[in-house]
Chain A
Amino acid sequence: MIWSARMFNDPPNASELLLTVREYIEQLLPDLERQDKYHGLCCTYLLDVVMRELEEPPNIGDHSNNALKALFNNEDELSETEFMSSLCASIRRGDQDGNLDRLLILLTSHVSKKVRVSNPDYLDAKDYL
């Protein structure tokens, strides 16, 4: 389901538009050679990624991110990027060395969220939350 806020536009919706472009590139692929074919295949992959990203519920992964934030006693209103930077700095300083087992589980969940969009078939069933 595409975000409802975008539903005021006339059809085709964003996913349908992307699918149209994808289908056209797919038709071209058999006639392309070497480098062009490779980049054409990359383009179909990239369109698949965008389609999955659009269809992903906006709150997916909140659970793992909230758990990460809880682990770091993050009470500030940091943006996602600020929080990730702060988390990275904390790991680099060694502040989390006592928490590495728990952190590994939470980071696997965090990374699984990205893989759900980039290549969901790659995920272990138990990580496909």
Chain B
Amino acid sequence: MQNDDNIEYLSEKIRVCIKRRFGDDCEIADIELATLGGSNRTVLFDVVRGSYPLRLVLRQETVPSEYSPFLPSDMQYRVLEVVYEHGIPVPRPVFELEPADNLGQGYVVTAVPGETLPKRLINSAEYVTMRARFLQQSAEILAKLHTIDHVLVPGLSALQESSDPLGAQIALYDRYGEPHPAIEFAFRYLAKYEPEHGAINFLHGDFRNGNMIVGTEGIRVLLDWECAHTGSVMEEIGWFCARSWRFGRVDLAAGGFGDRETFYRAYEKASGNLVDRESSRWWEIFGVMRWAIYNIMQSHGHLSGERRSPAFAACGRNTGIIEYDLLKIIAKEFD
């Protein structure tokens, strides 16, 4: 199997790519295929020169661009550079892939040790006492992120996700050609009750439990910037509180870490801006709808043969469960 799914084949290409930049006297070691994420392949490796290894992470795109709702790698890298320069906790950007690397689209950042599994963050005894800290830090990081001038990332405000968020989701859903009346119902409901969106800010776009690395002292870095765009900060707050990230603790509405009001107040204190409760709840419903469509997308990637995996097959059958949440929230039977 001479493609990048083969770890030996991929390792050799990474070795050549690193030596091109850091010289022939360095070696790579401890190569580990971490995840096949929603939009990328993540490979960790050590660059060894002398006795001190530097652990790096390659994020290689796996979604063909014509089907992808995600930012192209060069924009993701620019986003990372900008937020890193503004003191947002993210892995340090190291370099972007070039055509000569023969590794496709992607980039390399420093590795950060820690925990990412949401269920462990929510349920493990080790982290139970840290939930309040995670909640507080989430609010503070978001408040800081939302002050960054989005024009520093050219093209961010021109994305359809930025200018027409509901239209962008409908367009993505339409690409897959699967009839889902529950999702159509949500489109209609959301259009009917769409709030005024107010000021436009820089958004992470997928800020939630699962997209952060934490330690027992708190949040270390934010990951997965491929959904960054501009919009109302209520979109980000609503997404964080969407029911899909509570992983069995539906009472912990704010990202599985705590209750909404505590999170809203922490954000208000950190940002100096009021949280529009009603608008945020509209964005929670929008978020669950969006999550259902992302699951259809992953299932489509599996069925089309682009990215075969049991996890992506499971996403197809997960869609109905998310639709169930969606309808129950609209009916006000679920919070």
- Residues in B whose Cβ lies below 8 Å from that of A70: none
Interface of A is mostly: helix
A18 to B114, CA, bound (A): 37
A112 touches B311 (CB 8 A): no
Pick the residue among A42, A96, A97, A118 that contacts B320 (CB under 8 A). Answer: A118
Question: Of the candidates A35, A43, A88, A119, which one forms a contact with B321 in the assembled complex, judged by CB atoms under 8 Å apart?
Answer: A119
Interface string of B300-312 (1 = CB under 8 A from A): 0000000001110
Asked whether any CB of chain B lies closer than 8 Å to the CB of A49, the reply is yes
* Given contact pairs A87-B181, A108-B331, A42 touches B188 in the complex (Cβ within 8 A): no
Grouping DSSP codes into helix (H, G, I), strand (E, B) and loop, the B interface class, with mixed when no group exceeds half, is helix
Q: What's the nearest-Cβ distance from chain B to residue A115, in Å?
A: 5
B156 CB to nearest A CB, Å: 29
Per-position contact with A for B315-335: 1 when CB-CB < 8 Å, else 0?
001101101100110110100
The residues of B that contact A118 with a CB separation of less than 8 Å are: 317-318, 320-321
A100 and B313 contact, CB distance less than 8 A = no
User: Within 8 Å CB of A87, what residues of B?
Assistant: 179, 181, 184
CB contact under 8 A between A111 and B324, given known A42-B311, A91-B185: yes
Q: Are the CB atoms of A88 and B179 closer together than 8 Å?
A: yes
Contact check: which of A34, A103, A108 meets B324 at CB < 8 Å?
Answer: A108
Return chain B residues, CB-CB under 8 Å to A127.
Answer: 324
Q: Tell whether A74 is near chain B: CB-to-CB under 8 Å.
A: no
Q: Are B331 and A39 in contact (CB under 8 A)?
A: no
Q: What residues on B are CB-neighbors of A103 within 8 Å?
A: 185
Indicate whether A84 reaches chain B with its CB closer than 8 angstroms: yes
Within 8 A of A (CB), among B24-70: 33-36
Are A91 and B314 neighbours in the complex by a CB distance under 8 Å? no
Q: Given the complex, which residues of A lie within 8 Å of B318, measured CB to CB?
A: 118
Q: Is the pair A84, B321 in contact by a Cβ cutoff of 8 Å?
A: no
Q: Which of A114-129 contact B (CB under 8 A)?
A: 114-115, 117-119, 122-124, 127
The answer to whether A111 touches B188 (Cβ under 8 A) is no
The contact of B327 among A39, A45, A104, by CB within 8 Å, is A104
Chain A residue, CB-CB nearest to B309: A39
Residues on A with C-beta less than 8 A from B313 are 42, 46
Q: Which residues of A contact B309 (CB under 8 A)?
A: 39, 42
Contacts of A35 in B (CB 8 A): 33-36
User: CA–CA, A77 to B182, complex, Å?
Assistant: 22
Residues in A with CB closer than 8 Å to B189 are 100
Q: Does B187 contact A (CB under 8 A)?
A: yes
User: A57 → chain B, closest Cβ, in Å?
Assistant: 18
B188 surroundings in chain A (CB, below 8 A): 91-92, 94, 96-97, 100
Select from chain A the residue with minimum beta-carbon distance to B183.
Answer: A88
List, in ascending order, chain A residues with CB within 8 A of B35's CB: 35
Chain A residue nearest to B188 in the complex (CB): A91
Do A115 and B320 have beta carbons less than 8 Å apart? yes
Q: Which residues does chain B contribute within 8 Å of A122, judged by CB atoms?
A: 321, 324
Residues of B within 8 A of A68 (CB): 181
Asked whether B185 lies within 8 Å of A43 as measured between CB atoms, the reply is no
Question: Quick check: B333 and A124 within 8 Å, CB to CB?
Answer: yes
Residues B179 and A111 in contact, CB atoms below 8 Å apart: no
Is B13 among interface residues, defined by CB-CB distance under 8 A? no
Question: In this assembly, does B180 line the interface, its C-beta being within 8 Å of a C-beta of chain A?
Answer: yes
Q: Which residues of B contact A124 (CB under 8 A)?
A: 328, 333
Closest to B173 in A: A88
Q: Are A84 and B179 in contact, CB atoms less than 8 angstroms apart?
A: yes
Given A118-B320, A124-B333, CB of A88 within 8 Å of CB of B180: yes
Asked if A111 and B327 make an inter-chain contact with CB atoms under 8 angstroms apart, the answer reads: yes
A81 contacts partner chain B, Cβ-Cβ < 8 Å: yes
* Interchain CB contact under 8 A, B179 and A85: yes
Which B residues between 233 and 284 are near A, CB-CB below 8 angstroms?
none
Report yes or no: B323 in contact with A111, Cβ–Cβ below 8 A. yes
Per-position binary interface string of chain A over residues 31-69, scored 1 when its CB falls under 8 Å from any chain B CB and 0 otherwise: 000110011001101100100000000000000000010
**A-B CB contact pairs (8 Å), 13 listed:** A42-B309, A42-B314, A45-B314, A46-B310, A46-B317, A49-B317, A81-B179, A91-B181, A92-B187, A111-B320, A111-B323, A118-B317, A118-B320
Which A-B residue pairs are the 10 nearest by beta carbons?
A114-B320, A42-B310, A84-B179, A91-B184, A118-B317, A85-B179, A88-B179, A88-B184, A111-B323, A108-B327
